[in-house]
Amino acid sequence: MKLPAPAGIATLVAYVATIPAANLAVTHFGAVPVGFGYAAPAGVYMVGLALVLRDLARESAGRGAVLAAIAVGTILSYFLADPALAGASAAAFAVAETMDFVVYEPLRKRSLLIAMLASNAVGLLADSLLFLKLAFGSFEYLPGQILGKAWMTFAAIAVLALLRRRKPASASA
């Protein structure tokens, strides 16, 4: 088995690190504002970032490494979440990340940014619906969940688009 390059390992570590960060945020901060008068559980931003990092980890570390990271993330999500949220957190993570992966794979060769947008849209919706239903039995935070994750997706994709534009310009200089 070939190990990922250092950049791939760093991306995988960052991806997996979003899980405890999201769970700690929910436990310690509760609900936070996400804009337009909406609120969401505080882990929303880390979950949005996880969706983007999963896609980047796929590109830098490969499919097998990402599937292993999803498994590790699911286990971490269960054990690091507040006991009342553990099952909801693990289930939402496993389903959403797997759905993100399934949508991303066929689109990635066409356009990395389109694949990220499409897969993250599916992943953030799945995560939001499942987590809220299992954790709270309510969709009260659904608009805030979707908005908060979308902010992170758009911000990360904007940064990636800018980096991709600068790369050819700096290579020809």
Q: Quick one: average pLDDT of 61-86? A: 89
- Sign of the alpha-carbon dihedral angle for 143, 89, 33, 155: negative
Q: Quick one: average pLDDT of 156-162? A: 85
Q: What is the pLDDT at residue 172?
A: 47
Q: Is the pLDDT of residue 61 over 50?
A: yes
Q: Is the pLDDT of residue 140 over 70?
A: yes
Q: Quick one: average pLDDT of 64-84? A: 89
Q: Is the pLDDT of residue 130 over 80?
A: yes
Q: Is the pLDDT of residue 119 over 90?
A: yes
Q: What is the pLDDT at residue 5?
A: 87
Q: Quick one: average pLDDT of 129-146? A: 95
Cα(78)–Cα(99) distance, integer angstroms: 19
Helix axis angle, 6-29 to 63-80, nearest 10°: 20
Q: What is the pLDDT at residue 64?
A: 94
pLDDT in tens, 3-18: 788 889 999 999 999 9
Q: Tokens standing for 143?
A: 């608009």
In sequence order, the 6+-apart residues with CB closer than 8 A to the CB of 130 are 88, 91, 92, 95, 96
Q: What is the pLDDT at residue 107?
A: 96
Position with higher pLDDT, 157 vs 131: 131
Q: Is the pLDDT of residue 173 over 50?
A: no
Q: Is the pLDDT of residue 170 over 70?
A: no
pTM of the model: 0.86
Confidence band (pLDDT; 50, 70, 90) for 125? very high
Q: Quick one: average pLDDT of 101-106? A: 95
